[in-house]
Structure 1
Amino acid sequence: MIDYNPKNWWKFIFYFHKSDTFSKLMPAMLGIAAYTAIFAYVENNILHYVPIRNPLTVHSLVGFVLSLLLVFRTNTAYDRWWEGRKIWGSFTNNSRNFALKLSTLLPEGHTSRETIRILIGNYLQATKDHLRGKAKVDHLTFTATYNEDYYKDHKHIPNRVAKALYTEIYKLHQEGLFNLEQFLALNNELSSFTDNLGACERIKNTPIPVSYNIFIKKIIFIYVFTMPITAVLEYKFWSIPIVTLVFYAFAGIEIMAEEIEEPFGTDANDLGLDNMVVNIKGNLLEIL
Structure 2
Amino acid sequence: MIVRPRPNWFRMLLIVRGSVLPAILPQLLIYLAFAVIVTLLHGRIFVWKVSLTFVPFSLIGLTLAIFLGFRNNTSYARYWEARVLWGELLNDTRSLARQSLTLIDGSTQSRVFVHRLIAFVHALRHQLRGTDPGADLQRWLSESERASLQGARYKPSAILLMAGEWLREQRQKGLLAAPLAQAMEVHMGHLSDALGGCERIASTPIPFTYAVIIHRTVYVYCLLLPFGLVDSIGAMTPVIVTFIAYTFFALEALSSEIEEPFGTEPNDLPLDAMAEGIQTTLLELLGERDLPAAPKPVNYVLT
TM-score normalized by the length of structure 1: 0.92
Q: Indicate which of 222, 228, 238 corresponds to 1:224.
A: 222
CA offset at residue 160 of structure 1?
A: 1.6
Counterpart for residue 58 of structure 1 = 56
CA offset at residue 96 of structure 1?
A: 1.1
Counterpart for residue 210 of structure 2 = 212
Please tell me the residue identity of whatever aligns with 1:193.
Answer: L
Structure with more of its chain in helix, by fraction = 1
Counterpart for residue 249 of structure 1 = 247
Counterpart for residue 21 of structure 1 = 20
Counterpart for residue 121 of structure 2 = 124
In 1, Cα distance between the equivalents of 2:149 and 2:35?
A: 59
Count, aligned residues: 285
Retained in 1: the 8 A contact 2:105–2:176? no
Counterpart for residue 3 of structure 2 = 3
Q: Which runs of 5+ in 1 are unaligned?
A: none
Specify whether residues 107 and 218 from structure 1 end up closer, same or farther in structure 2 by C-alpha distance, changes over 3 A only.
Answer: same
In 2, Cα distance between the equivalents of 1:47 and 1:187?
A: 74
Please tell me the residue identity of whatever aligns with 2:26.
Answer: P
In 2, Cα distance between the equivalents of 1:197 and 1:123?
A: 10
Retained in 2: the 8 A contact 1:112–1:168? no
CA offset at residue 21 of structure 1?
A: 1.7
In 2, Cα distance between the equivalents of 1:143 and 1:51?
A: 69
TM-score normalized by the length of structure 2: 0.87
CA offset at residue 10 of structure 1?
A: 3.3
In 2, Cα distance between the equivalents of 1:208 and 1:143?
A: 36
Q: Say yes or no: does 1:158 pair with 2:156.
A: yes
Counterpart for residue 137 of structure 1 = 134
Q: Which runs of 5+ in 2 are unaligned?
A: 287-303
Retained in 2: the 8 A contact 1:125–1:277? yes
CA offset at residue 136 of structure 1?
A: 2.1
Please list, as runs of the form range in 1=range in 2, the aligned pairs for 1:124-203 lying within 5 A after superposition: 124-140=121-137, 141-144=139-142, 146-203=144-201
Residue identity (%): 29
More off after superposition, 151-160 vs 246-255: 151-160
Counterpart for residue 266 of structure 2 = 268
Retained in 2: the 8 A contact 1:77–1:258? yes
Counterpart for residue 94 of structure 1 = 92
More off after superposition, 227-236 vs 247-256: 227-236
More off after superposition, 5-14 vs 243-252: 5-14
Retained in 2: the 8 A contact 1:137–1:152? no
